[in-house]
Amino acid sequence: MKTKLFSFVLMFTAIVSFAQQDAQFTQYMYNTININPAYAGSRGALSIFALHRTQWVGLDGAPVTNALSLNTPLNSSNVGLGISFINDRIGPTNENTISADFSYTVPTSETFKLSFGIKATANLFDLDVNQLNPVDDDPTLRNFENKFSPNIGAGLYLHSDKAYIGFSVPNFIETNRFDDNEVAIFKEKINYYLIAGYVFDFNNSIKFKPAVLTKMVEGAPLQLDVSTNFMFNEKFVVGVAYRWSAAVSAMVGFQVSQGMYIGYGYDHETTSLNNYNSGSHEIFLRYELFNNNGKIITPRFF
């Protein structure tokens, strides 16, 4: 039974490696810096973000992700800077990614600004062969241990106080994590992201924001995330989301103070994996230090 269970974990890990690759977030709209470097500094504040995600609870070897990021505008200039760290554990694998982001913003009209961003990334991928318990030690598996790879990415982010649209490629380099006779066994593919959202003011106390994220990667189905969120009295947020052919989600958030926001998300799987897990949980905290006038440039939704 143990062998069968672990074989399933290995199969699961391989599937995730090709289909998911980049860490997945339900509340990506609060964590845009991880997929689009042009977002750096766009909120007009020093923004510190921390997130913990436990995916497919109850399934042995399921992904567990921790993310930490910081981004800020540089004084009163058009430059934004950011740094982020992601730890993604799946089965016997452990992946650490640290990224530095740079953005430059130019006004395109009285209400819209266009930001250009670049991302430099260092990735460390590790396979714990001790968890595999092979009958015979396979020395080729040692090539998975502490595998380092650099990368570079870029993004565009057009935004106003009410709307945003962005396109990004976080990693331009397709990295072969492991080769066997010059054939890539585990290859990091290029991921393309398109995001968009708009904030509607229903009245003085209620705001409504639909948003969409589209993710494209070679060898995997198109991923489409659609979400709707309501904000009440600039304090309480509630929303739902749908990940095409994958999951439905519920999201809540609360503006604890002017600078502190906390949010929680729950995913219910709509695929056959639903029979083997009790859903996914995601919690995050965002803390911001504002400029002298104490105002944020964009709505708290993004």
Rounded to two decimals, what is the model's pTM?
0.85
DSSP 8-state assignment for residue 22: S
> Could you report the per-residue pLDDT of 266-293, keeping only the tens digit for each?
999 998 888 888 999 999 999 998 765 5
Mean pLDDT (the chain, rounded)? 84
- In the numeric block, which tokens belong to residue 174? 């397709």
- In the numeric block, which tokens belong to residue 10? 């290995």
- Closest by Cα among 301, 57, 112 to 197: 301
CB atoms within 10 A of CB 35: 23
- Residue 246 predicted with pLDDT over 50: yes
pLDDT given for residue 172 in this prediction: 93
pLDDT given for residue 157 in this prediction: 98
In CATH terms, the fold of domain 35-289 is Porin (2.40.160)
pLDDT given for residue 139 in this prediction: 61
- In the numeric block, which tokens belong to residue 179? 């080769």
Categorise residue 42: left if φ over 0, alpha if ψ from -120 to 50, beta otherwise.
alpha
Sign of the Cα torsion 108, 113, 114, 117 reads: positive
3-state secondary structure of 232: strand
DSSP 8-state assignment for residue 44: S
Average of per-residue pLDDT across 252-259? 92
pLDDT given for residue 175 in this prediction: 73
Q: How confident is the model at residue 6 (pLDDT cuts 50, 70, 90)?
A: very low
**Quick one: what percent of the chain has pLDDT higher than 70?**
81
> Could you report the per-residue pLDDT of 166-223, keeping only the tens digit for each?
999 999 988 765 555 554 455 678 899 999 999 999 998 999 999 999 999 877 788 9
- Which of 118-127, 178-187, 257-266 has the least mean pLDDT? 178-187
Q: How far is CA 15 from the centre of its chain?
A: 19
pLDDT given for residue 92 in this prediction: 87
From CA 197, how far away is CA 24, in angstroms rounded?
19
Q: How confident is the model at residue 137 (pLDDT cuts 50, 70, 90)?
A: low
Report whether 161 contacts 134 (CB < 8 A): no
Average of per-residue pLDDT across 97-102? 97
- In the numeric block, which tokens belong to residue 15? 């599937």
pLDDT given for residue 14 in this prediction: 43
Higher pLDDT, 280 or 134: 280
- Which of 7-11, 29-33, 82-86 has the least mean pLDDT? 7-11
From CA 149, how far away is CA 176, in angstroms rounded?
9
